[in-house]
Structure 1
Amino acid sequence: MSRFVPVDRDTAYLLPPSVDEWLPSDHLARFVVDVIEQLDLSELTRQYASRGSAAHHPAVLLGLLIYGYASGVHSSRKIERATYDSVAFRYVAANTHPDHDTLATFQLRFLKEVESLFVQVLVLAREMKLLKLGHIALDGTKIDANASKHRALSWGHAHKIEAQLRQEVQALLALAETSDRAAIPDGMDVPAEIARREDRLSAMALAKAKIEQRAAERHQLEQQEYEAKTAKRKSQRDAGKKPRGKDPEPPEAGPKDGDQVNLTDEQSRIMPVSGGGFEQSYNAQAGVDTETMMVVTRHVSQACNDKREVVPTLEQIAALPAVLGEVHTLITDNGFFSQANVIACREAGVEPLLALKRESHHAPVLERFAPDAPAPQTKDPVVQMAHRLGTQAGRALYSLRKQTVEPVFGIIKRVMGWRQMSMRGLAHAQGEWSLVTMAWNIKRMHVLRTA
Structure 2
Amino acid sequence: MSSFIPFDRSQPYLLPPDLKSWLPADDMAHFIVAAVERVPMSAFCVPVRTGGRAQYHPRLMLALLIFSYANGLFSSRRIERATYRDIGVRFVAANLHPDHDTIATFRRTNRTAIEAAFAQVLLLARETGLLRLGVVSIDGTKIDADASKYRSVRYDRIRALREQLAVDIAKLMDQAEHADATDSDPQALPEALARRETLKAKLDEACARLEADAKAQAEAARPAYEKKKAVYDAKTGRRGRAPKPPDDEPPPDRQISLTDPDSRLMRRSDAHEFRQAYNAQAVVCAEGSQLIVTTDVVATSADAPSFASTVLSMENTIGLPKTVLADTGYASGQAVRDLRKKGIDPLVAIGRPCARRPYDFRPPPENREPRRITGPWRLAMKKKLETTKAGNVYRLRKQTVEPVFGIIKSIMGFRRFSLRSLAKVTTEWTLVALAYNCKRMARLQAA
TM-score (norm 1): 0.83
| Distance in 2 separating the partners of 1:101 and 1:178 | 44
Alignment partner of 2:140: what SS? strand
Q: CA deviation at 1:77?
A: 1.4
Q: CA deviation at 1:16?
A: 3.8
Q: CA deviation at 1:167?
A: 4.3
| Distance in 1 separating the partners of 2:168 and 2:433 | 51
Q: Tell me which of 354, 361, 377 is aligned to 1:360.
A: 354
Residue 205 (structure 2) pairs with residue 211 (structure 1): no
| Distance in 2 separating the partners of 1:383 and 1:248 | 29
The match for 1:337 is 331
Q: Tell me which of 391, 410, 413 is aligned to 1:414.
A: 410
The match for 1:115 is 115
Indicate how the Cα distance of structure 1 residues 32 and 224 shifts in structure 2: closer, same or farther if over 3 A, else same.
Answer: same
Contact 1:269 1:302 in 2 (8 A): yes
| Distance in 1 separating the partners of 2:232 and 2:446 | 57
Between 1:4-13 and 1:66-75, the stretch displaced more is 4-13
Alignment partner of 2:161: what SS? helix
| Distance in 1 separating the partners of 2:104 and 2:377 | 48
Question: What are the within-5 Å matches in structure 2 for residues 123-138 of structure 1?
Answer: 123-138=123-138
- Post-superposition Cα deviations, 1:390-439, rounded to whole Å, max 9, x if no partner, equal 11111111111111111111111111111111111111111111111011
The match for 2:292 is 295
| Distance in 2 separating the partners of 1:34 and 1:41 | 15
Q: CA deviation at 1:95?
A: 2.1
Residue 256 (structure 2) pairs with residue 256 (structure 1): no
Question: What are the within-5 Å matches in structure 2 for residues 151-166 of structure 1?
Answer: 151-166=151-166
Which runs of no fewer than 5 residues in structure 2 stay unpaired? 359-375
Contact 1:71 1:416 in 2 (8 A): yes
Compute the RMSD of aligned alpha carbons: 3.4
Q: CA deviation at 1:248?
A: 7.7
Indicate how the Cα distance of structure 1 residues 4 and 362 shifts in structure 2: closer, same or farther if over 3 A, else same.
Answer: same
| Distance in 2 separating the partners of 1:449 and 1:106 | 30
| Distance in 2 separating the partners of 1:190 and 1:311 | 55
Contact 2:282 2:296 in 1 (8 A): yes
Q: Tell me which of 324, 341, 344 is aligned to 1:350.
A: 344
| Distance in 1 separating the partners of 2:56 and 2:214 | 46
- Post-superposition Cα deviations, 1:230-281, rounded to whole Å, max 9, x if no partner, equal 899999x99xxxxxxx998665442112112211111212222345121111
Question: What are the within-5 Å matches in structure 2 for residues 296-315 of structure 1?
Answer: 296-315=293-312
Indicate how the Cα distance of structure 1 residues 137 and 189 shifts in structure 2: closer, same or farther if over 3 A, else same.
Answer: same
Contact 2:118 2:430 in 1 (8 A): yes
Indicate how the Cα distance of structure 1 residues 40 and 125 shifts in structure 2: closer, same or farther if over 3 A, else same.
Answer: farther
Residue 444 (structure 2) pairs with residue 448 (structure 1): yes
Percent sequence identity over aligned pairs: 41
The AA in structure 2 aligned to 1:218 is Q
Alignment partner of 1:308: what SS? helix
Q: CA deviation at 1:308?
A: 0.8
The AA in structure 1 aligned to 2:404 is V
The AA in structure 2 aligned to 1:69 is Y
How many equivalent pairs are there? 422
The AA in structure 1 aligned to 2:30 is R
The AA in structure 2 aligned to 1:255 is P
Indicate how the Cα distance of structure 1 residues 225 and 6 shifts in structure 2: closer, same or farther if over 3 A, else same.
Answer: farther
| Distance in 1 separating the partners of 2:207 and 2:303 | 27
| Distance in 1 separating the partners of 2:329 and 2:36 | 37
| Distance in 2 separating the partners of 1:98 and 1:170 | 48
Contact 2:144 2:415 in 1 (8 A): yes
Indicate how the Cα distance of structure 1 residues 428 and 196 shifts in structure 2: closer, same or farther if over 3 A, else same.
Answer: closer
Which runs of no fewer than 5 residues in structure 1 stay unpaired? 239-245, 365-379
Alignment partner of 2:215: what SS? helix
Contact 1:212 1:254 in 2 (8 A): yes
The match for 1:71 is 71
Contact 1:314 1:348 in 2 (8 A): no
The AA in structure 2 aligned to 1:163 is E
The match for 1:280 is 276
Contact 1:342 1:382 in 2 (8 A): no
| Distance in 2 separating the partners of 1:129 and 1:17 | 36
Q: CA deviation at 1:110?
A: 1.0
Residue 11 (structure 2) pairs with residue 11 (structure 1): yes
Indicate how the Cα distance of structure 1 residues 75 and 20 shifts in structure 2: closer, same or farther if over 3 A, else same.
Answer: same
| Distance in 2 separating the partners of 1:255 and 1:158 | 12
Contact 2:152 2:258 in 1 (8 A): yes
| Distance in 1 separating the partners of 2:231 and 2:313 | 30
| Distance in 1 separating the partners of 2:312 and 2:152 | 33
The AA in structure 1 aligned to 2:310 is T
| Distance in 2 separating the partners of 1:3 and 1:232 | 93
Q: CA deviation at 1:289?
A: 0.8
Contact 1:272 1:304 in 2 (8 A): yes
Indicate how the Cα distance of structure 1 residues 319 and 229 shifts in structure 2: closer, same or farther if over 3 A, else same.
Answer: farther
Indicate how the Cα distance of structure 1 residues 173 and 259 shifts in structure 2: closer, same or farther if over 3 A, else same.
Answer: same
Alignment partner of 1:401: what SS? coil
Indicate how the Cα distance of structure 1 residues 154 and 26 shifts in structure 2: closer, same or farther if over 3 A, else same.
Answer: same
Alignment partner of 2:400: what SS? helix
Q: CA deviation at 1:158?
A: 1.4
TM-score (norm 2): 0.83
Residue 30 (structure 2) pairs with residue 30 (structure 1): yes
Indicate how the Cα distance of structure 1 residues 159 and 148 shifts in structure 2: closer, same or farther if over 3 A, else same.
Answer: same
Question: What are the within-5 Å matches in structure 2 for residues 74-223 of structure 1?
Answer: 74-169=74-169, 197=196, 200-223=199-222
Residue 270 (structure 2) pairs with residue 271 (structure 1): no
| Distance in 2 separating the partners of 1:53 and 1:177 | 49
Q: CA deviation at 1:329?
A: 0.9
- Post-superposition Cα deviations, 1:154-209, rounded to whole Å, max 9, x if no partner, equal 11111222333344456667878999x99xx9999567756654554444333211
Indicate how the Cα distance of structure 1 residues 97 and 176 shifts in structure 2: closer, same or farther if over 3 A, else same.
Answer: closer
Alignment partner of 2:272: what SS? coil
| Distance in 2 separating the partners of 1:284 and 1:18 | 40
Residue 310 (structure 2) pairs with residue 316 (structure 1): no
Contact 1:333 1:358 in 2 (8 A): no
